[in-house]
Amino acid sequence: MGATRVVSYLSLMAFLGCLLENSSVAAADSNTVNPCCYYPCQNSGVCVRFGTDQYQCDCTRTGFYGDNCTVPEFGSWIRLMLKPSPFVTHYILTHFQWFWNLLNNTFLRDTVMRLVLTIRSNLIPSPPTFNTKYGYISWESYYNISYYTRLLPPVPEDCPLPMGTKGKPTLPDPKVLAERFFKRKKFRPDPQGTNLMFAFMAQHFTHQFFKTNHEVKGGFTKALGHGVDASNIYGDTLERQHQLRLHKDGKLKYQLVGSEVFPPTVSEAPVYMRYSQGLPSEQQFALGHELYGILPGLTLYATLWLREHNRVCDILRAEHPSWDDEQLFQTTRLIIIGEIIKIIIEEYVQHLSGYFLKLKFDPVLLFNERFQYSNRIALEFCQLYHWHPLMPDSFIIDDEEVSYSQFMYNTSLLTHYGVEKLVDSFSRQVAGQIGGGHNSHETVLRVAELTIKESREARIQPFNEYRKKFNLKPYTSFYEFTDDPEMAKGLEDLYGEIDALEFYTGVMLEKARPDAIFGESMVEMGAPFSLKGLLGNPLCSPEYWKPSTFGGETGFRIVKSATLQKLVCHNSKWCPYVHFRVPGKEEEANSRKPSTEL
């Protein structure tokens, strides 16, 4: 009996020992930090976790090797030795105007343009790699286009701190960030002379592919297309498109106010629009995007593209009397998409870049390059494109000041002043500088708060990790990041470490380049997304880029010769001053003279 008790006692002790051992292992596991939370893999290496505390960096085709992909292969070493830094490249492209004036008139312009396109576009993976849900390659990331894609995987969910392993255990209150660092103290005009015509184009253009589904958390988009598809003009569903179409001669519905063409009312084209309650029915225009009635600048562009669509339809119908309504509509839509891309690259991006190199929209430049004609909109691209500091304190139309309360949801401003006066006024009023912070009007401040919250729900990696991804040197302190000591001290108090600074906060508050609208990161990160999306459009592929796609040489010529001035002057009674930059002294003098030159 005694022996039995001893055996039972020993068995019990062994059992308890196993329990204690297992509990200690579990405790150790719970305290083990996911090594990928340290972001150990450099130069686009992919971190793969093994066990609980081990990892490997996949350096395949990065041009680097070693445990953390930090040792350059010979070819990479040569390239790094010869390749100028982004700072030097930008400096060369924005200085030595005499040199670029010469180069722009030679065959070397095509060579340099091809180089710019390929280097920028190659930074964006195609097909896409990650999305908000999956921090690893998955079929869902590729196949499910209802997700935004993303360049870097999310911050792992089991990291000890919100941004990985650095910073404070709690991120700053978005409202505090917006009030302290985003809110405008005094309007700061953009030193590049960016105007409101540019600001409204930025909104009108990007909302065809930035359509975040706020009803579903996790970085989902409502956009059916992931690029320039002119859905902001024609509607993002077939049902909306058919409501907006006249179903005759390929045209869109319209109304005449006096003798001028404007969008139809919602009663004439029953599509869903977001208007304020009590707005008279005759002021409720039916547009391609449900939000474009909010700001007259957006309604202005909607009207211009409506007029341009119907103008092109008349040209095609004269050349192709046998074509039915459907073919006229579909071919005109392709021409409009081509015009949009041409204007965006050669005027909009040209202005933003500040380059003396004259940018060129010519898809043929890439026909002999390895290039994929597909695009997916990235969450990071959507985040960095919140350029609300562009908005002024009030709007000056025909020398009259209009407040926000008078401006918003007021489509009657368009019919009252007319397209010409609105274009002229918006082209002459300077917009705000985006980089550097302290320049968002209180009316749009809420957008910054919501964007910060969205970035946290999506667990976007720290700002410095994106700096490295785009071959930029990571900042070592907040005092290097901004030239505002008070802001640097405030951010340091809230975040603790520069490596914990959030992506959106970083791109928006970073010090602006000298005499520029943005900081370095906005340009170096935004340009690759933009150019890949524009040139990745199927319209730019060898199969599409030919006269027959556009109904013949006439339609092809409309695309290849498109300009912002032509868009306005072909669709207005007289040619106002129209540009993405406020006029200089010489331009001011010339713009006051009547002009019909196109």
> Which residues are known to be catalytic?
207, 385
**Which of 426, 356, 401 minimizes the C-alpha distance to 581?**
426
Q: Residue 388: which residues within 8 A CB-CB, separation 6 or more?
A: 440, 441, 444, 447, 448
- The region that residue 340 occupies, defined by phi over 0 for left and psi between -120 and 50 for alpha, beta otherwise, is alpha
SS (H, E, C) 332-382: HHHHHHHHHHHHHHHHHHHHHHCCCCCCCCCHHHHCCCCCCCCCCCEHHHH
325-343 and 553-560 are packed helices; what angle lies between their axes, rounded to 10 degrees? 30
**Which of 332, 301, 302 minimizes the C-alpha distance to 314?**
332
Burial environment of residue 119 by CB neighbours within 10 A (0 to 12, 13 to 18, 19 or more): middle
H-helix or E-strand containing 262? strand 260-262
Alpha-carbon separation of residue 253 from 297, 322, 432 (angstroms): 20, 22, 35
User: Measured between alpha carbons, how far is 169 from 174 in angstroms, rounded to an integer?
Assistant: 15
Q: Residue 557: which residues within 8 A CB-CB, separation 6 or more?
A: none
149-150 and 130-131: which strand pairing?
A: antiparallel
Residue the block writes with tokens 């891309």: 341
Burial environment of residue 446 by CB neighbours within 10 A (0 to 12, 13 to 18, 19 or more): middle
